[in-house]
Structure 1
Amino acid sequence: MKKIKFLAILYLAGLLLLPRLVLSQDVSAQGPAPFTGARATLGSYKALYVVNSSDDKRVKAALRNIRNALNDPRLKGKLEVELIVFGDGVEIYRNGSPYRTALEGLKEKGVILAQCENTLNERGIRKSELYPFISFVPSGNGEIIIRQHQGWAIVYP
């Protein structure tokens, strides 16, 4: 507090060029305002989640991350999400995978569930071997490139 009063005296005497100081408060006692996270000031947000692994921990993390984003109160009603799957990730969308219920829940919330057709062609997998609610794109990498240039956040859980 003594340093602030001294600086204020110098300022008032015209010997120190500083912005006007608030003399009635002890600045050292005020901490920074508590951090509450970024504010969602835009009208809409878009996120592409990328999965190219069938590792159960990674798949569950991706699905959980998507649910968490959809439930973030700052993004409610403002978020468009796509889950692009390619490579080993194709197992997520296969009939009989343990993720059907979770995927259907995301689909009901408007999440686009997309599968790379290159992966299907390279592995000899028919579209009929995947859940019927899956959409298709020519290539997973192409989808990432296009979405990124459209301003989508690209998330690799």
Structure 2
Amino acid sequence: MKTIKHLLILAFLSAIAPAMAQTSESGFHGAEATKSRYRAVYQLNTGDTAVIHHALANIQNSLNDPRLKGKLDIELVVYSGAFVAYQKGKAYFEKELQSLQKQGVILAMCENTMKMRKLSRDEMYPFVSYVPTANGELIIRQQDGWAIIRP
């Protein structure tokens, strides 16, 4: 009986030890940014305004991370239904996008999506860049070591 009690106590302590080790008292403050450059491409393929805003906020959060200041290259690749994020007349996103671009974010639109949806460059914000296909861009960026992030 005494052995079972000791085993239960040991099991309990083993279960809570990892949780205790991750408290702020342990000194853990997240990963250390030891590289000179970090690169991430965010992919966005939905016209859901909440998801678009979430993606733009995530990008801004990355840019604001003190560990990554001055070390971060970001590209936002938009395709499929997400074309609305770059479409003129959708002032809903324009200011956020311009702010991100001023901070160095590449705003890329999939030309394949434009062709499929019969959209022209005149319908997009003038500060948007273009890639032949979003999938091709993501494949190339991933092979070049970029982190692929899908909000």
- Bucket of the pairwise TM-score, normalised by the shorter protein: 0.7 to 0.9
Instruction: For residue 154 of structure 1, give the secondary structure of its aligned residue in structure 2.
Output: strand
Aligned: 1:91 with 2:77: no
- Residue 72 of structure 1 is matched in structure 2 by 65
- Residue 139 of structure 1 is matched in structure 2 by 133
Separation in 1, partners of 2:117, 2:34: 44
User: Could you list the per-position Cα deviations for residues 82-111 of structure 1 after superposition, in whole angstroms to 9, with x for gaps in the alignment?
Assistant: 000000010100001110000000010000
Quick one: which amino acid aligns to residue 67 of structure 1? Q
User: Could you list the per-position Cα deviations for residues 37-70 of structure 1 after superposition, in whole angstroms to 9, with x for gaps in the alignment?
Assistant: 0000000000000000010110011000000000
Instruction: For residue 31 of structure 2, give the secondary structure of its aligned residue in structure 1.
Output: coil
- Moved >6 Å (runs of 4+): none
Aligned residue pairs: how many? 128
- Give the number of the structure whose residues are more often helix, by fraction: 2
Aligned: 1:110 with 2:118: no
The TM-score with structure 2 as length reference comes to: 0.82
- Residue 152 of structure 1 is matched in structure 2 by 146
Percent of paired sites with the same residue: 48
Instruction: For residue 125 of structure 2, give the secondary structure of its aligned residue in structure 1.
Output: coil
Match of 1:129 among 123, 127, 133: 123
Quick one: which amino acid aligns to residue 117 of structure 1? E
Structure 1: which 5+ runs fail to align?
1-30
Separation in 1, partners of 2:53, 2:79: 16
Structure 2: which 5+ runs fail to align?
1-19
Larger-Rg structure: 1
Instruction: For residue 99 of structure 1, give the secondary structure of its aligned residue in structure 2.
Output: helix
Match of 1:34 among 27, 40, 51: 27
